[in-house]
Amino acid sequence: MKNILPVLTVILALLVVWYASAFQLNKQWALDMAARQDRTMTTPQLIADTWAQDKPKLPAPHQIVVELWNTVALKKVTSKRSLVYHAWVTLSATLAGFGLGTVLGISLAVGIVYSRVMDRSVMPWVIASQTIPILAIAPMIIVVLNAVGVSGLLPKALISMYLSFFPIVVGMVKGLRSPSRMELDQMRTWNASGAQEFARLRLPASMPYLFASLKIAMAASLVGAIVGELPTGAVAGLGARLLAGSYYGQTIQIWSALFMAAAVAAAAVGLIGLIQRATLKRMGLDR
């Protein structure tokens, strides 16, 4: 872990910049308030005030930590005011979409690798599908699906799926094609059937590519779930917290939701990383 010192330095620098910006951005409001109440503020008072406002332009890090502690640890998990509850709502949609996207992505990749027609006709659309800003039409999908009678988890999961299948298709196509001509010929000399070639050579060879794609897909899936929550009228979920926070100017609430989302993303991606390491180790592929 020789990177720890530089990383800590960078994080420390970020914190310093953050406190300085919080002071700079919140200063005006504090001064206005003081002027209105006809009192002057000394510099230490001013600094303390900018770091402890109720609705600051930029909350100081410790305010966010306090808010996180209040909403994560001090509230019951089932309470609607608990951030854990909202994180779970988002995470369940994320995981459902991620699962669907993984299945769709892998099946498409198998089709593309084994069928020349699919390779030629479907692959370009897989790529084109990602230049469509799906997040932009997320509200429409949610509203339309609601109109048809599908609501709750599934619409969000569908958006997550759309975002997460793409990296998996691309990664798996690359991975399933990664065995060399020589290795494929070797399988043929062993009289391997198509299914055996797939199960014993192509699939194992694609694992490193699959895991790299899964990490990207998980991050994309979370973004999809969060954006999918925006148009539902801020009912539940991290996206709803963001929207509600922005309606009522609750910056601390927005930032705590953001940090929660970051933690969820880090945990999910980290979990895939652990599975990756264990799997590749068993396969003898780790470096």
- Which positions touch another protein (CB under 8 A)? 2-3, 5-11, 14, 25, 57, 115-118, 120-125, 128, 130-133, 135-137, 139-140, 143-144, 147-148, 215, 219, 222-223, 226-227, 230-231, 238, 242-243, 245-246, 249, 251, 254-255, 257-258, 261-262, 265-266, 269
CB of 133 to another protein, least distance (A): 4
Query: Residue 136 CB, nearest distance to another protein (Å)?
Result: 4
Amino acid at 274: L
Nearer to another protein, 48 or 132 (CB): 132
Q: How far is residue 243's CA from residue 188's CA, in Å, rounded to a whole number?
A: 58
Residue 21 to residue 280: CA distance in whole angstroms: 44
Least distance (Å) between residue 265 CB and another protein: 5
Q: CB-wise, 128 or 182, nearer to another protein? A: 128
d(CA 130, CA 134): 8
Query: Smallest gap, in angstroms, from Cβ of residue 23 to another protein?
Result: 15
Burial track 207-235 (b if 16+ CB lie within 10 A, e otherwise): ebbbbbbbbbbbbbbbbbbbbbbbbbebe
What is d(CA 86, CA 257) in angstroms, rounded to the nearest whole number?
9
DSSP one-letter code for 156: H
Rounded to a whole number of angstroms, the minimum distance from the CB of residue 257 to another protein is: 7
Contact between 237 and 159 (Cβ < 8 Å): no
- For residue 252, what are its two tokens? 């601390």
Residue 136 burial by Cβ neighbours in a 10 Å radius (0-12, 13-18, 19+) = exposed
Find the shortest distance in angstroms from Cβ 143 to another protein. 5
Which residue, 45 or 270, has its beta carbon nearer to another protein? 270
The pair of three-digit structure tokens given for residue 154, joined into one six-digit string: 């599934």
- Measured from the CB atom, is 190 or 248 closer to another protein? 248
Closer by beta carbon to another protein, 92 or else 246: 246
